[in-house]
Structure 1
Amino acid sequence: MSTRVVRFPLLLLGAFAALYLIWGSTYLAIRIGVESWPPLLMAGIRFLVAGCLMYAWLRWRGVPAPTGREWRAAGKIGFLLLACGNGGVTVAEHWGVASGVAALAVATVPLFTLLFGMFWGQRNTKLEWAGIALGLLGIALLNLGSNLQASPAGAALILFAAASWAFGSMWGKSLPLPNGPMASAAEMLVGGAVLLIGSLLSGERLTQMPSAAGWGALAYLVLFGSIIAFSSYLYLLKHVRPAAATSYAYVNPVVAVLLGILFAGEQIGSAEWLAMVVIVSAVLLIGLPQWRQRQDELAAAAD
C-alpha cells in the first residue's frame, strides 16, 4: 500500500512536468515549422508518424489491437483534440498569430472544460465559477491586443481549437477508449489521417523542401510534443479531474511567451501581458479545488 502511494505521485508529477514544459515549447516549434511546412500537412505528418511509431511499438510488446468500438471512440477524441484542437492552433500560427499569444488563448481550455462538464453533471465550486468569470475577462483583454486584432480569423480559430480540445477531454472520460498508451496511438492515427485529408482538400502543396529548422521542428513535435506529452495528458485525464489535467494551461503561456520573445523576436503588447496575468490567475483559481481534492485523496490512501 505504502509503495503505491509513494510511486503514484512521482509518476503524476512527471506527467504534469511534461505538459507544463514540453507543451509550452511546442508553440515555438509550430511557429518555426509552419515557415517551411503547410500547416495541415505538418500537423498531419506529426500525428500520423507519432501514431504509427507508438502503435508498432505497443503491438510489438504484445498490447492487443483496439476493438472496433475502441477505434470509433478513439476516432472521435482524435478528431476533436488533434484535428480540430491542435490543427486549429497550427493553422492560426500560420496565419500570423504569435506563438505566445496562441498559448494564451489556449489557456482558456480549463474554462471551457468546466462549462462543458456541466453537461455531464459536474458541479462547479464558487472558486471555479470565479475562475470562469476572470478567464472570460482575460479573453476579452487578449482580443484587445494588436496581435489578435490583426488576425480576427486566427483569434476565432484559436478559441474554437480550445473549445474543441476541452469538449473532447470531457467526452473522452465516458467513452470506451483503448487502455493505456494505445489510446494515444489510436487517437493520433485517426487525427493525423483527418488532418492529411484536410490538407489535400484545402489544396495545400509543398512547393520546396523544408529547411533544416523545419525538419527539426517536426521531429521535436513528433517525439516530445506528441508521443511524450500527449501520452502524459491522456494518463492525467484517467487519474485526475479534467480541469486539473488541463491545468498545464497556466504554465504553457509563460513558457511560450518567453521562448517566442527570446528566439522568434515576437512582441507582446501591454493588453496581452495583462491578459496573461488575468488568465493565469483564473486557471489557478480553477485548479485550487482540484489540488485540494487530490491531496485529500492521497492522504486518505496513506491512512
Structure 2
Amino acid sequence: MVWGALAIVYVVWGSTYLGIGIAIESIPPMLSAAIRFIIAAALLSGFLLVRSGPAAFKMSRRQFLGAALVGVLLLTTGNGMLSVAEQYISTGLAALLVASVPLWLVVFRFAVRDRPKTLTLAGVLVGIGGVGALSLTGAEGGSEVGIVVVLLASVSWAVGSFVSGRIAMPANALATSAVEMVVGGAGLLVLGTGFGERLDVSAVTTRSWLALAYLIVAGSLIGFTAFSWLLGNAPISLVSTYAYVNPAVAVALGALVLSEPITVQVIVGGLVILVGVALVISTERKGTTRAPDAGAGDGGTPPPARRRAEPVAEQPGG
C-alpha cells in the first residue's frame, strides 16, 4: 500500500503541471483554477460531513482566518500565478522552477533568525544557483515574463507554507484544506474576473474539460488523500522523495504529450536545483520526526494542517 500510494503521488502530482497546461488551452487560467478548487472543496467538504459530521468543521474565527490566509497564498496567488505562467513557459520548466519552494523556505527561516545547518545553507546556495541558471538559459521553454511569474508563484507557496506552522489553524486537516481551497478558489474567481477573464463554455474543448476534471479528481482529491495517508504510514525519507520525482515526471510528460523541448540547459539547471533540494531535505529531516510540508507538491493542493513549520514544502502542481 505504501508503494501504491507513493506511485500515485509521484505520477498524479507530477502530472498536474501537464493538466494545467491542457486546461488553460481553452479555459482562462485563473478561472480554471477557481473552478478546480471550488469544486474540489465542495467534494471534500461533503465527504468530511458524511464521515465525521459538522463537528469536523468546528474552528474559531482566528483558525478560520489562518486557513483562509494560507489558502490565498498557496492557491490564489501561488497556483493562480502558476496557471498564468504556463501560458508562456513549458510545463516542464514550470515544474523545475517550482521545485525551488523548499529553498525559499530555508531563506525565510534564516530571516527570522532560525539558523539552519551549514549543509542546509549549502543546499540552498546550490539550488538557487540552479534556479538562476535555468531562469537565464531556459528561455527556449518560454518567455522571461513566464519565468518571473512562476518564480513569484514559488515564493508565494513558500510564504504560505512558512506561515502555516506559525499561526492558528483548524484542528482537522481535511477541514483546513477545504477552507483553504474554497477561499483560494474564491480569490481566483475575483482576480480572474477583475482581470477580464470570461468563461466562454462553447469555446472550451473536450480536451480542456477532461484535463480540468483530472485536476479536480486526481490532483486535488486522490493525490491529496494518498499523500495524507503516507504522512502517517511511511518513513519520512521515503515520502520526501516526491520532491525530486515530481519535476522529472512533469518534464517527461510535457515532452511526451505536448512535445516540449528538453534542452541541455533545462537538464543541467533542473539537476542542480534537485541536488540543492535533496541536500536541504536530507540534512533537515535528520532532526525531525515528521514528513515535510507539501505546500506546492501537486501544483496547488494545500497540504494537511501542520502544527509547526518544517524545512521544506511540496509540490503545486495537485
TM bucket (normalised to shorter chain) is 0.7 to 0.9
Q: Post-superposition shift, 1:87? A: 1.1
AA of the residue aligned to 1:101: L
Identity percentage over the alignment?
Answer: 39
8 Å CA contact 2:78–2:154 kept in 1: the answer is: yes
Partner of 1:58: 48
1:72 partnered with 2:65:
yes
| Pairing 1:198-217 to 2, within 5 Å after superposition | 198-207=191-200, 208-217=202-211
After superposition, give the CA deviation of every residue in 1:171-198 in whole Å (9 maximum; x if it has no partner).
1012222212111111000000000111
Choose the corresponding residue for 2:36, options 22, 46, 49: 46
TM-score computed with the length of structure 2 as normaliser: 0.80
Q: Which sits farther off after the overlay, 16-25 or 150-159? A: 16-25
2:136 to 133, 138, 144: 144
Aligned partners of 1:196 and 1:203: how far apart in 2?
Answer: 11
- Of 170-179 and 41-50, the range deviating more from structure 2: 170-179
Length-normalised TM-score, structure 1 = 0.84
Aligned residue for 1:90, secondary structure, equals helix
Matches within 5 A, 1:249-264: 249-264=243-258
2:21 is the alignment partner of 1:31: yes
Change in Cα spacing, 1:110 to 1:239, as seen in structure 2 (3 Å) is: farther
Report if the CA contact (8 A) 1:106-1:249 is conserved.
no
Query: What residue is the counterpart of 2:220 in the other structure?
Result: 226
Q: Give the superposition deviation at 1:71.
A: 1.7
Q: CA deviation at 1:228?
A: 3.3
Supply the RMSD in Å over aligned alpha carbons: 2.9
1:14-163 aligned at under 5 Å gives the runs 17-61=7-51, 62-64=53-55, 65=57, 66-94=59-87, 96-147=88-139, 150-163=142-155
Larger Rg: 1
Amino acid at match of 2:84: V
* Paired AA for residue 102 in structure 2: P
Look up the match of 1:282. Answer: 276
Amino acid at match of 2:165: K
Report how many residues are paired: 285
Shift of the 121–63 alpha-carbon distance from structure 1 to 2, 3 Å rule, reads: farther
Unpaired runs of at least 5, structure 1: 1-9, 298-303
